[in-house]
Amino acid sequence: MLKQPGGFWPLFVADAIVRTGYQMGKTPVLPMFAALIGAGELMIGTIVAVSTVTGMVAKPFVGALSDRWGRRLWFFAALLLFAGTPFLYRLVETPEQLFWLRLFHGSATAIFGPVTLAIVAEMGTRDRATRLGWFGIAREIGYLLAPAIAGWLLLVFEDPADLFTVIGLLSCAAFAPAAFMRFPPTPLQAGGGDRPGVIRQLVDGFRHTATRGEMWFAGTLEMTVYSVTYGLKAFLPLFVVQVAGFSWLDAGLFFTIQEAANVLTRPVGGRVGDRIGYLPAIAGGLALVALALAWLPAVSIAPSLLAVAVASGVGQGLIFPSTVAMVGTAVGAGHLGLGLGVYGTLKNLGKVAGPLAAGALLQVMPYGTLFRVLAALAVVAAIGVLLAHRHQRRVSEQPS
């Protein structure tokens, strides 16, 4: 579905540029930079994770304020942070300074995430999941390309700080497509003088969001999926090399192929959600993720390992467009930014909780058992989704 509402493709390109740059600064550059300035292993892990914490706290408030003041202000504020912050890495001399700079840098994604999703969701209710599926590719392009580009540039530049300068210059290019974007007024802006005060708006928005069962259901699903996938991401390389006997190249190819499958499936996954319903599409994706995790401990040859990567990536491509579309449908138009911010907070919580929980479980069980536990969690989630779909159909079939 290449035909999209006006302003979609400039937003897509701008998002792809800044996300690619941001990811270039994470893997493998950030751990290397932290180690070079004297950070120990615990501090390196903290530095890598801290930018996610910013989003967990800030996303709902940014979303709510963008509902009130419009998306344009916050969109360009995020672009300035993406473009300007990388140049500050040259001033970093200690791990503590890097920690605080990463905390500040994380505000770029904390603003950009809910605002851009709200822009896309407000382009119309028709084919919303399909459109969000296409938009999800912009972010996945960064996950797919950034590590390889950063690895190559590290061969060119001896100092990782030089690479952050390149990232800043690359991010500045996002202002070109952004100039062609459209920012129609939000429903709250369109209300003109009838708007409540900021505090009242936040209270009303959080109260409204708290009553949106579908939003919390979708957010909890997303948190569960990210807990499973980030738990896998944190420890699969060690399992592949130290336990299964594969090479580091095989471990790298696993994530490249997984992200490629995710990218290619998202538009299809969004269309499936629009056609058969969000919940059946999510349940199918969860089943594929569970199959991949259950299969993983038994792989013994590289093609099987890569087949697991494909199954996991396709499963994620089926899940994520429909969960975002569910939030867009459940939350009232006047509080869409806030609702997507809360959703983003739940997602970030999964990103943090998954690796921590997986690491704790590995203290008492081997890798194979861990992956089966994660598979069981995905199966339970899929069953819950199917039961919710059955209940939803039963309610809709009752005479009014």
178 confidence band (pLDDT: 50, 70, 90) = very high
In angstroms, how far is the first alpha carbon of the chain from the final one?
Answer: 36
pLDDT tens digits for range 92-118: 999 999 999 999 999 998 899 889 988
How far is it, in rounded angstroms, from Cα 30 to Cα 47? 8
CA distance to 30, 164, 213, per residue, from 39 (Å): 11, 18, 43
Q: Kindly list the domain boundaries of the chain, sorted by start residue.
A: 1-194, 213-330+362-400
The dihedrals phi and psi of 92, each to the nearest 5 degrees, come to: -80, 130
Q: Do domains 1-194 and 213-330+362-400 have the same CATH topology?
A: yes
Whole-prediction pTM? 0.69
Q: Name the region of 300 (left: φ>0; alpha: ψ -120 to 50; beta: rest).
A: alpha
Say yes or no: domain 213-330+362-400 is CATH 1.10.8.60: no
Q: What percent of the chain has pLDDT over 70?
A: 93
How far is it, in rounded angstroms, from Cα 82 to Cα 22? 7
Provide the 8-state DSSP code for 298: G
Q: Does residue 197 carry a pLDDT above 80? A: no
Reported CATH class of domain 1-194: mainly alpha
The pLDDT value recorded for residue 314 is 94
